[in-house]
């Protein structure tokens, strides 16, 4: 990367950009992630706007995220030439040190391409989110005996899960190149470091399944949960490899505006760690900035399907996510936003308990196939049901039935250790009686009760005689269908119909909690080469997007045919994005 003094012409900026100085507060986040409501002082330009301080990333700075203009869709006013303090010449700028951006950067550096990665976090506080990544056919997995996976079979199953809404070319690249690209990502580790990796749902237990109905599942996950070799450490090692190959990293630096000359990207304006505007003269920009869950206005605007099912008392909430700045920059540069339903991680489903039981609504009536496909799908019916507490009932053979699981999020790996832990929870609930015991899953708190007889259990969980009668009738009918081996109500697979008839009995009581999510997984429309498309679905020359700021990986909701597909696809497709940028620079796309 070459640094030089220089000026910038207003003609280089987006045409028709509107001025604006109204601040927008980021929503409050869980888990210690920052988010506050803070308007600019009267008479003072807001953070990130010309004349004001830089806009800080709410995930790591503890400051407010402020968005230009009266709406997040309004483009900012161009930065004045005199406000540019430094100018750099570089072939490619990657915005974001997440899984997608880092792997794109590393690939480009390996090819001898001049690349700079900018990241909002400071280097000393850099932290990578997540732990496990799905990678069919990675050598690290094959060497441990994980079976080889037919990429065509994996691809077809993926498209079934997405209702063929995922980008076919993009996802075939994942299925065909997942192994080699994950191998490249893990190649920075020593044998001792790689040895701490674990693999979810492998080796398979006796009754572990590879499908439920038409939906298939595979154990092909690289997990790093223990020791010092976590994902933050792996990122550091990949960064060091990229630097050794010639890449430059600039921490505490936030992308602000994409510069175009006509329909071609020619540069980027950013704010550096000192709060100064800097300019990059570049041939391509890769947006890899994450989702928009940290931006309340963007959530309301873009998650229309999810917001539409919420009751007046519910609201959207997020555990961890970015502020949507990359999606904003792409939109301001002419990019098209996904309007087919943007997936969230866990936002569009609810489940009252384990699939091995029978699920009943607040009136005590069964309402779905508890074992339908991935957990993200079987919990969809509750979106349009009342938000009163729902029930999940089990009998004394729950531990035996839990062996019938699939390698997916929301399933329990039926190892002796895990099943013993569940049994201890059941014993505790039985001993607690009417007090019950508190538990937590990904979305909400639930209470588990246990009793020797069903009547005793019903007295603990319900005071309405009519509801009790419905529960008993529902369980009786369900048990009859289990004996017949045919679910006339909701089509549950006959081999997965486990009766609730032998005490002691257990019940999970859980209030519905719709709209809670870990992150968003879409935004800008891209093609199979991860080029950002304009309103006519033509590529914007030199503009790419990868990871959670881009659409094309899932349908209208996240799903897991293998645990860790979110990180896995961003690692793999991040490197594929680097390959596409290389082709663009060579004039091949």
Strands 437-440 and 445-451: antiparallel
Q: How confident is the model at residue 261 (pLDDT cuts 50, 70, 90)?
A: very high
State whether 259 and 211 are in the same domain.
no
Give the per-residue pLDDT at 19: 28
pLDDT average, residue stretch 161-166: 96
Give the per-residue pLDDT at 442: 63
State whether 251 and 389 are in the same domain.
no
pLDDT average, residue stretch 327-340: 96
Scanning the structure block, which residue is given the tokens 């990657």? 94
State whether 479 and 551 are in the same domain.
no
Give the per-residue pLDDT at 23: 23
Mean pLDDT, rounded, of the chain: 87
Res 107 pLDDT > 90: yes
pLDDT average, residue stretch 202-219: 95
Which of these ranges, 12-21, 74-83, 141-150, 522-531, has the smallest mean pLDDT? 12-21
Give the per-residue pLDDT at 133: 96
Grouping H, G, I as helix, E, B as strand and the rest as coil, residue 226 is coil
Q: How far is CA 400 from the centre of its chain?
A: 32
Show Cβ contacts of residue 376 under 8 Å, excluding neighbours closer than 6 positions.
346, 348, 349, 409, 410, 557, 558, 559, 560
The answer to whether residue 588 is domain-embedded is yes
State whether 475 and 549 are in the same domain.
no
Give the per-residue pLDDT at 216: 97
Q: Could you say which of 208, 229, 250 is where a domain stops? A: 229
Please give the residue that has the higher pLDDT: either 448 or 439.
Answer: 448
Give the per-residue pLDDT at 2: 63
Is 410:374 a contact under the CB 8 Å cutoff? yes
Res 235 pLDDT > 50: yes
Q: How confident is the model at residue 65 (pLDDT cuts 50, 70, 90)?
A: very low
Q: How many CA atoms lie within 13 A of 14 on its CB side?
A: 24
> What's the pLDDT tens digit per position in 506-540?
999 998 888 888 999 999 999 999 999 999 999 99
pLDDT average, residue stretch 273-283: 96
The answer to whether residue 351 is domain-embedded is no
The answer to whether residue 274 is domain-embedded is yes
Q: Could you say which of 461, 483, 513 is where a domain stops? A: 513
Which of these ranges, 54-68, 229-243, 290-304, has the smallest mean pLDDT? 54-68
The C-alpha atoms of residue 562 and residue 219 are separated, in whole angstroms, by 6
Q: How confident is the model at residue 42 (pLDDT cuts 50, 70, 90)?
A: very low
DSSP string, 441-507: -SS-EEEEEEESSHHHHHHHH---HHHHHHHHHHHHHHHHHHHHT--TTT---GGG-----SSSEEE
The answer to whether residue 353 is domain-embedded is no
Residue 435: exposed, middle, or buried by beta-carbon count in 10 A (0-12, 13-18, 19+)? exposed
The C-alpha atoms of residue 400 and residue 506 are separated, in whole angstroms, by 14
The answer to whether residue 532 is domain-embedded is yes
Q: What is the CATH number of the domain that holds 418?
A: 3.90.700.10
The answer to whether residue 352 is domain-embedded is no
Which of these ranges, 13-17, 226-230, 341-345, has the smallest mean pLDDT? 13-17
State whether 105 and 136 are in the same domain.
no
Count how many residues are written for the chain.
589
Q: What is the CATH number of the domain that holds 520?
A: 3.50.50.60
Domain that holds residue 213: 132-229
Q: Is the pTM of this model over 0.85?
A: yes
Cis geometry, peptide bond prior to residue 203 (ω within 30 degrees of 0) = yes
State whether 215 and 285 are in the same domain.
no
Please give the residue that has the higher pLDDT: either 70 or 223.
Answer: 223
Buried b (16+ CB within 10 A) or exposed e, 511-544: ebbbbbbbbbbbbbbbbbbbbbbbeeeebbbbbb
Give the per-residue pLDDT at 513: 80
State whether 272 and 294 are in the same domain.
yes
Overall number of domains in the chain: 3
Q: Could you say which of 197, 229, 261 is where a domain stops? A: 229
Is 563:409 a contact under the CB 8 Å cutoff? yes
φ/ψ of residue 213, rounded to 5: 60, -130
Scanning the structure block, which residue is given the tokens 């190649």? 187
Give the per-residue pLDDT at 443: 63
Which of these ranges, 182-196, 346-360, 388-402, 439-453, has the smallest mean pLDDT? 439-453
The C-alpha atoms of residue 522 and residue 102 are separated, in whole angstroms, by 19
Is 52:22 a contact under the CB 8 Å cutoff? no
φ/ψ of residue 237, rounded to 5: -65, -40
Give the per-residue pLDDT at 3: 59
Give the per-residue pLDDT at 79: 87
State whether 499 and 373 are in the same domain.
yes
The C-alpha atoms of residue 269 and residue 281 are separated, in whole angstroms, by 9
Percent above pLDDT 90 for the chain: 78
Which of these ranges, 68-72, 257-261, 449-453, 505-509, has the smallest mean pLDDT? 68-72
The answer to whether residue 104 is domain-embedded is yes
Q: Which two tokens stand for residue 489?
A: 């109500």
State whether 424 and 482 are in the same domain.
yes
Q: Which residues pair with 261 in a beta bridge?
A: 264
State whether 498 and 546 are in the same domain.
no
State whether 74 and 85 are in the same domain.
yes
State whether 103 and 250 are in the same domain.
yes
């Amino acid at each position: 990367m070459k640094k030089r003094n220089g000026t910038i012409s207003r003609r280089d900026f987006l045409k028709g950009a509107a001025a604006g100085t109204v601040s927008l507060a980021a929503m409050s986040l869980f888990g210690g992630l920052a988010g506050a409501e803070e308007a600019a002082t009267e008479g003072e330009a807001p953070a990130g706007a010309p004349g004001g301080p830089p806009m800080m990333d709410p995930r790591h700075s503890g400051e407010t995220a402020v968005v230009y203009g009266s709406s997040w869709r309004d483009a900012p006013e161009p930065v004045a030439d005199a406000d540019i303090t430094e100018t750099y010449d570089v072939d490619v700028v990657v915005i974001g040190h997440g899984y997608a951006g880092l792997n794109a950067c590393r690939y480009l550096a390996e090819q001898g391409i001049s690349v700079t990665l900018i990241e909002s976090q400071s280097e000393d506080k850099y932290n990578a989110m997540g732990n496990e990544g799905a990678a069919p056919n990675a050598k690290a997995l094959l060497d441990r005996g994980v079976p080889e996976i037919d990429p065509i079979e994996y691809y077809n199953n993926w498209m079934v899960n997405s209702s063929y809404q995922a980008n076919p070319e993009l996802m075939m690249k994942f299925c065909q190149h997942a192994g080699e690209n994950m191998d490249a990502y893990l190649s920075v580790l020593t044998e001792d470091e790689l040895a701490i990796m674990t693999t979810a749902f492998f080796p398979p237990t006796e009754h572990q399944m590879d499908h439920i109905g038409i939906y298939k599942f595979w154990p092909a996950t690289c997990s790093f949960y223990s020791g010092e070799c976590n994902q933050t450490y792996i990122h550091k090692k990949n960064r060091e490899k990229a630097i050794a190959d010639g890449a430059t990293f600039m921490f505490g630096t936030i992308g602000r505006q994409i510069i175009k000359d006509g329909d071609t990207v020619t540069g980027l304006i950013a704010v550096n760690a000192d709060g100064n505007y800097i300019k990059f003269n570049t041939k391509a920009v890769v947006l890899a900035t994450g989702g928009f869950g940290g931006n309340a206005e963007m959530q309301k605007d873009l998650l229309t399907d999810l917001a539409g099912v919420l009751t007046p008392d519910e609201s959207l909430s997020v555990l961890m996510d970015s502020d949507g700045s990359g999606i904003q920059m792409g939109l301001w540069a002419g990019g098209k936003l996904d309007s087919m339903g943007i997936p969230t991680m866990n936002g569009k489903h609810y489940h009252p308990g384990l699939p091995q039981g029978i699920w009943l609504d607040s009136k005590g009536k069964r309402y779905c196939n508890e074992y339908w496909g991935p957990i993200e799908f079987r919990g969809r019916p509750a979106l349009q049901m009342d938000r009163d507490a729902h029930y999940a009932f089990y009998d004394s053979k729950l531990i035996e039935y839990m062996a019938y699981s699939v390698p997916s999020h929301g399933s329990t790996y039926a190892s002796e250790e895990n099943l013993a832990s569940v049994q201890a929870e059941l014993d505790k609930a039985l001993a607690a009686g009417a007090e019950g015991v508190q538990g937590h899953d990904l979305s909400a708190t639930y209470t588990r009760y246990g009793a020797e007889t069903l009547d005793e259990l019903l007295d603990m969980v319900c005071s309405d005689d009519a509801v009790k009668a419905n529960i008993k009738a529902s369980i009786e009918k369900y048990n009859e269908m289990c004996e017949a081996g045919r679910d006339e109500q909701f089509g549950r697979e006959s081999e997965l119909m486990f009766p609730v008839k032998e005490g002691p009995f257990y019940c999970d009581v859980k209030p519905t909690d719709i709209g809670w999510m870990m992150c968003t997984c879409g935004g800008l429309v891209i093609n199979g080469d991860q080029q950002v498309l304009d309103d006519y679905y033509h590529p914007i020359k030199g503009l790419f997007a990868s990871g959670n700021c881009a659409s094309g990986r899932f349908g209208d909701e996240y799903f897991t045919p293998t645990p860790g597909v979110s990180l896995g696809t961003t690692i793999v497709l991040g490197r594929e994005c680097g390959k596409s940028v290389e082709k663009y620079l060579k004039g091949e796309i």
